[in-house]
Amino acid sequence: MNFAFNEEQNAIRAAVARFRTDVLAPGYRERDRTGVIEREVIRQLGDLGLLGGELPEAFGGSGMDCVTSGLIIEEIARGDFNVGYIPLLAALNGQIIAHHANPDLARTWLRRITAGQAVACIALTEPHGGSDAASLRLKAERHGDVYRLNGEKTSISMADQADVAVVFARTGTPEQRAAGISAFLVPMDSPGVTSHRFEDNGQRAIGRGSIFFDNVDVPVSHRMGEEGQGFRQVMQGFDYSRALIGLQCLAVAQQSLDETWQWLTGRTAFGQSLSAFQGLTHPLAECQTYVHAARLQCYHALWLKDNGHPHSAEAAMNKWWGPKLAFDVIKQCLLAHGHTGYGEDLPFAQRLRDVLGLQIGDGTAQIMKNIIVRESLAK
């Protein structure tokens, strides 16, 4: 077993660390205020090769391994949790598009996505049910060379900032459930597509909202894979993104810990450094232990994917534990800073708001635990 990153990975990490320190971290609060991730920042991510790097070169990637992609997201999220969602979306949607879309269509969009010239969102959740993803009602009816889409998607990240959406719609009957769902690549400027943004507690730079489809005609060539295979496609992709989400959240927890350790060494009370008070340091020591363990678990899942091994249970572990642990750790760091930690001058309150959303999005803890139970019983 080798727990070390190689020389190339360490060089990539160092380059991304400079970018997040110089560009991302200074704009974290402002992006929260404006509710937008600047297109210039996204283009810079593309210029640095930080979007969709795990894709083949034909699609604009570099064929990097998934562990390295995890390193990239981890470093980006340390500077700005929300910007970390851009490479995550590129990874999740990129794999779905690369594996299942028409090759010409895939090349057109993926080259734009990897260059930071376009952003793709994933449109799965609907208003009547989130966790029951196989009960979709958005209809896709075929009329000759087009499918006509009607319905609503909700709780979609980047709903009003994305250029294209991977949309899952029902082409079969409701009784078919998962077997009646197909996937489509839909440009967001298509006639009949509109969006509405929610007022959320956190992740404001990403934005979450509804997408409405009113007689939206999508060419048959934009269907990804065979009709009725969409649900299988998205479920396979989520195993990868769940490990990345774990690292995205844990990166913010580790950054908060690093800042808090530094804070304790620079402050005094009752004639001593705050670092001498075990009431402050022991809870942080526990947090450091848990973050270290959870981070290794995320990289283990990515290593399993790189080596062609099943990793559904491990990815589910990453998804339920990572966001919850990150929230608890950031809260402890905020409390360690006392009254100053509660203010908006420090980033802890915003970080709490931001990571909280991923205890819900992309699969709740209860659904993740169901997956772990299923996989454990199958063994």
Q: Which CATH superfamily is domain 7-118 in?
A: Acyl-CoA dehydrogenase/oxidase, N-terminal domain (1.10.540.10)
Strand partners, 121: 165
Most confidently modeled range among 131-145, 157-171, 235-249, 262-276 = 157-171
Q: Looking at residue 327, what is its pLDDT?
A: 98
Q: Is the pLDDT of residue 212 over 90?
A: yes
pLDDT in tens, 46-68: 999 999 999 999 999 999 999 99
Q: Looking at residue 370, what is its pLDDT?
A: 95
Categorize the per-residue pLDDT at 131 as very low, low, confident or very high, splitting at 50, 70 and 90: low
User: Residue 272's CB: how many other CB atoms inside 10 A?
Assistant: 10
**Average pLDDT score over residue span 204-224:** 97
Higher pLDDT pick, 128 / 196? 196
CATH 1.20.140.10 is right for the domain spanning 232-378: yes
**Average pLDDT score over residue span 338-359:** 95
Q: Is the pLDDT of residue 178 over 80?
A: no
Q: Looking at residue 130, what is its pLDDT?
A: 67
Categorize the per-residue pLDDT at 230 as very low, low, confident or very high, splitting at 50, 70 and 90: confident
Measure Cα distances from 348 to 238, 267, 283 in Å. 28, 18, 17
The pair phi, psi for residue 341, each rounded to 5°, is -65, -25
HSE-up (13 A, CA, CB side) for residue 241: 24
Q: Where are the domains of the chain?
A: 7-118, 121-228, 232-378
**Average pLDDT score over residue span 211-221:** 97
CATH 3.30.1370.110 is right for the domain spanning 121-228: no
Cα–Cα distance, 117 to 47 (Å, whole number): 10
Q: Looking at residue 231, what is its pLDDT?
A: 76
Same fold: 7-118 with 232-378: no
Share of the chain above pLDDT 70, in %: 98
| Mean pLDDT across the chain | 94
Q: Is the pLDDT of residue 328 over 70?
A: yes
pLDDT in tens, 244-257: 999 999 999 999 99
The H or E element that residue 20 is part of is none
